[in-house]
Each structure stands twice: as C-alpha cells, then as structure tokens.
Chains A and B, each alone.
Chain A
Amino acid sequence: MISIENLSKSYGSKIVLENINLNFLKGKVYGIVGENGAGKTTLFNCIAGLEKHEGIVKYEFGLLKNYLGYLQTEPFFFPKITGNEYIKLLCNARNISITDLGERNIFDLPLHEYAVKYSTGMKKKLALTALLLQENKVIILDEPFNGVDIQSNIIIIEIIQKLKEMGKSIIISSHIFSTLSDTCDEIMLLKSGKIIQSVLKDEFSILENEMKLFTIGNKIERLNLK
C-alpha cells in the first residue's frame, strides 16, 4: 500500500498542493481529475520523488521510486536515441534484461528509428512499453490517452485491467472522463491543489455531471461567439 500523508508543495508563495492525504491499495486503479493547472502532474512528480515536497510518501516495500513506473505527460527523448535504445536504457536502470523485444513491441513501433521523430502518440506508446517492461509494482500514467489513436486506447485500457488483475497499483490522470470510468475503481477530484471529492465506481456518473455543470457554467455565453 502507498500512503501519502500531508503532502504539500509550493513554488515560492504559490501553493500548488495543500495537505494531500491519500492511500493507494494493491490491485486497484485510481483516477485523478482536475482542470489544467490543478496540480495533477505536480502531485505525480511529488509521489515519484522527482520534486521536493512537505509531507510523507510511504510504501510497504521501501523506497517507492524503485518500484514505480511513471509515464509523464510529455516524455522526454534524447535527439539521437532509437526506440530500442530507449527501452534498453529504462530496463538497464532496473537491472532487467530484455531479449524478446520484437515480440513484446505490441504497438508495432519502428524501434530502430530515432524516438524523437515519433509522433506524440508513438512517443507515449514507446514510453509506456518501456515502463511496462520494467516490471514495476506501481504505475502512474499521466494523460496516457492523449494523442494516442483509438485502437491503442483500447489496448491501453486492456493493459490497465490486466495490471490490476496482477495486483499492481495504478494511478491515472486523464481529461477524457470515459476512459477513467472504464478503468478506475475510484476517482478523485483535484482542485486548486486540494482533493475536494473522491467517488467510487457507482457514483462516477454523478461526478461527471457535477463536473460538467461546474466547468461549463456560463462560460460559453461569456465567449460571445459570433
């Protein structure tokens, strides 16, 4: 189990995350939703240990980062590294030896080409393939469906289900509510750095409607489209 206690983060005087308390269980999928700038990526970076923060992140097996696969919103790639080499690098980092990469390249990526030249969706699929091959116990997916084609979206949803069955903890953020309602056991709403609501599967539709009403409000009228 991952336990987050009183996690706070600020940049100077700007508070980005405030007193976040969460528990993530094994074999469960958690969704985090919120507007752009709500603090989702910062929260993930803090959980991963990529950013300093106040509060504690506890994991039952020890240092979480050693068991964590993190798919970033925009994975960074070196200018002259092939897809093969990217996967090799990430697997080396976890002392995992990969021999049957061709067979496990389920997204049919051109692994011999430079990763930086891939499309947005292909980059995401490459990063996802690499972190899946790392055999992590916990997986954070920040916007995994962004820029990815519909066929791959279906595969990603199936992968998440499989990982859940394998007893892994999965945390996802997405702006596409349907993808979260298809995969998650619990969805949390992050607003201005605070978790303001947390709902279980049977209440997802209520949350979606509330979000729609709150988000849209009178904004379309304010736009005064002509």
Chain B
Amino acid sequence: MKDYFILRFRMFNRQLTEWGIEPIIGYVVGFCVFVFSSNKLFEKTQYADYIFMVISLGVIVSLNEIRKNEFLKLHFSRVECFKIRILENLIISSAFIIFLCYQEKYFNAVILLITVCFLSLMSFKTKANFTFPTPFYKYPFEFAVGFRTNYYIYIFAYFLTFMAISVHNFNLGIFSLIVVMLSCLNYYTTTEDKFYVWIFSKSPKDFIRYKLKIIILYATILCLPIIIGLSVFFYSEIEIILVFQFLGYLFILTAMLAKYSIFPDKLNIRYGIVFGLTLWLPPLLLFIIHYLYMQSLKKLKEIL
C-alpha cells in the first residue's frame, strides 16, 4: 500500500515536470491558487459551499474510474483495496474539507467527509458506451474529440447567450462567445501522437493551411448561434462582435501554431505564460504568430 502511494506521488511529480513545472514550485503555487480562488469564490457567491462540494466530488468521482478500481481489486486484498481507496479519496478531499471548516461550514464539511467515504465503496463507469454525434465528421479529429468531451460548455454558452438577449446584456453575450472560443482553443493544447502528423502527404505550409481551414470552418459553426443571436438583438454592436470573433480565430491559430512549434514535445508552462500575456495585450499576437509559424514549419519539416 505504501508503495502504491509512493508511486502515485512520483507519477504526479512526473506530470508536473512534464508540464515544465518544478514539483516543489507546483505545490506552493497550487496551494496559493487554491486558497486565493476558494476565497474569491466564497466572497462572490452565497452558494460557494455547494459549488465547492460539487467540485470536490467531481474530482473524487473521476478518481474512482472502474478500470482503475478493477486494477486495485486484482492486485490488492479486499481490505487493502478499500484502505487505498478511502485514503486516496480523503487525501484529495482534505483540502476542500479543511477549507470548508475554515469558512465555518462544518455541516457541509461533515456531509462531504461522509460522502467521500461512501464513494470509496463505489466504482463509476466514467466512460459511457454512447457515441455522441457531432457535426465535425468530415475533418476529424480536434473538434470531434473536443466537442464530445466539452459539449456541456456549449450548452452553458448558448444558455448565456439566451440570457444575454433576455436581459439585454451585451457583455454577457460577448462573454458567451469568448467561452466558445476558449473551448475551441483548448482542443489545440493537447499534442497528438506523431503518427497523426506523419500520415499527411502535405508540405508543412499546406498542413498548417489545412488545419487553419478546419479551425475557421468548425469554430464558425460552433459560434454561429451566438453570432446570429447577438447580431439580430444587438445590431448596433455588430463591429464589436466581429472583432471578438476575429480575435478568437487568431488565438486558436496561435494555440495550434504553439503546439506544432515544439512538436512532438508537449506544450509547457512557458507557453502558458506567453499565452497569458497575449490575452492581456492582443497586439502581441502579430509577433508571436509569425515566430510560432516559422518554428512550426521547421518542426513539421522534420516529420512531413
């Protein structure tokens, strides 16, 4: 059992290192981010304790995936397996439980503790058998995979657009557009297997052009309900809508180029920082896109 936890700890440290974060710095920054964002959450909303519990339970459920539990059952005795699961769940939820106590939400903390212990007895089949249909069949894979993983984000974004129109709040409408664009951008932050680039009989330039075509086509499809809604009900603001839409394409393009500029290595925290800077100062994109484009051509030439 001790070996299992040592191994999990090492795996987590390796994951941090792979992201370009020194583990010790990762823990310190992670702790600060958790405390800061939790405080903000409790300041902003009166339902923070419930949101907190849902987040905590979401993490626990994802940890109790059926195949992992089958592995544990196969290699450990029944008692040890239960001990591992309860201890693992408690370690993960302890931060949430302690923070709830700090906020004097003792009842919620106890409920969370009991639920976490109860969940240690259950296994969840987090990967459902149902094949989610998408309109992105023609050009797999980024949007098809991403849409199936994050479909609820679109439901949320379209709901926000509906609310923005209902209460006549243009900023909320733009926010829903940003949500969709950020979600699309996220599809290009995961590095695919080298094979999926190698298969293309295209030059690096054509490959990037092909990927850009998919971005424009599919991001437009996802944004279309929002753009139409906002354009009809906030017609006087149509220029702002188009500017945000255009910026959205640029950001997704930047993410795609960033990925291929270091391909087949994975994106690391340095790229995250640069990306953060461009969000703060969008004109930087013009320089960064050019640089990343040249680097991508260089990297892709090695494979294509």
Please, how many angstroms separate the alpha-carbon atoms of A113 and B201 in the complex?
27
Measured between beta carbons, the chain A residues less than 8 angstroms from B148 are: 80
Stretch at the interface among B116-124, B129-137, B267-275, B285-293: B129-137
Considering the complex, which residues of chain B in the window 178-213 have a beta carbon less than 8 Å from any beta carbon of chain A?
A: 192-196, 198-202
Tell yes or no: B144 within 8 A of A by CB. yes
* Residue of B141, B145, B148, B192 with most partner-chain A CB within 10 A: B141
CB distance from A77 to the nearest CB of B (A): 9
Chain B interface, number of residues (Cβ within 8 angstroms): 26
Please, how many angstroms separate the alpha-carbon atoms of A35 and B148 in the complex?
41
Please, how many angstroms separate the alpha-carbon atoms of A112 and B149 in the complex?
17
Please, how many angstroms separate the alpha-carbon atoms of A50 and B194 in the complex?
7
CB distance from B301 to the nearest CB of A (A): 11
Please, how many angstroms separate the alpha-carbon atoms of A125 and B202 in the complex?
26
Please, how many angstroms separate the alpha-carbon atoms of A48 and B132 in the complex?
34
Tell yes or no: A117 within 8 A of B by CB. yes
Tell yes or no: A79 within 8 A of B by CB. yes
In the complex, the chain B residue whose C-beta lies closest to that of A83 is: B131
Tell yes or no: B58 within 8 A of A by CB. no
Please, how many angstroms separate the alpha-carbon atoms of A86 and B304 in the complex?
20
Tell yes or no: B34 within 8 A of A by CB. no
Chain A interface, number of residues (Cβ within 8 angstroms): 29
Measured between beta carbons, the chain B residues less than 8 angstroms from A66 are: 201
Contact yes or no, B137 A50, CB < 8 A? no
Measured between beta carbons, the chain B residues less than 8 angstroms from A75 are: 195
CB distance from B91 to the nearest CB of A (A): 26
Contact yes or no, A114 B131, CB < 8 A? yes
Tell yes or no: A89 within 8 A of B by CB. yes
Contact yes or no, B145 A80, CB < 8 A? yes
Please, how many angstroms separate the alpha-carbon atoms of A180 and B193 in the complex?
29
What per-residue 1/0 map shows which CB atoms of B130-173 lie under 8 Å from chain A?
Answer: 01100001111100110011000000000000000000000000
Within 8 Å by CB of B200, from A70, A78, A93, A114, lies: A93
Contact yes or no, A48 B149, CB < 8 A? no
Contact yes or no, B140 A86, CB < 8 A? yes
Which B residues fall within an 8 A CB radius of A? Answer: 127, 129, 131-132, 137-141, 144-145, 148-149, 192-196, 198-202, 302-304
Other A-B pairs beyond A81-B141, A89-B199, 12, CB < 8 Å: A65-B304, A66-B201, A72-B195, A76-B195, A81-B140, A81-B145, A85-B140, A85-B144, A88-B140, A95-B201, A112-B131, A113-B129
List the 7 shortest-distance A-B pairs measured between CB atoms, nearest first. A66-B201, A85-B140, A80-B148, A93-B199, A76-B193, A89-B140, A93-B200
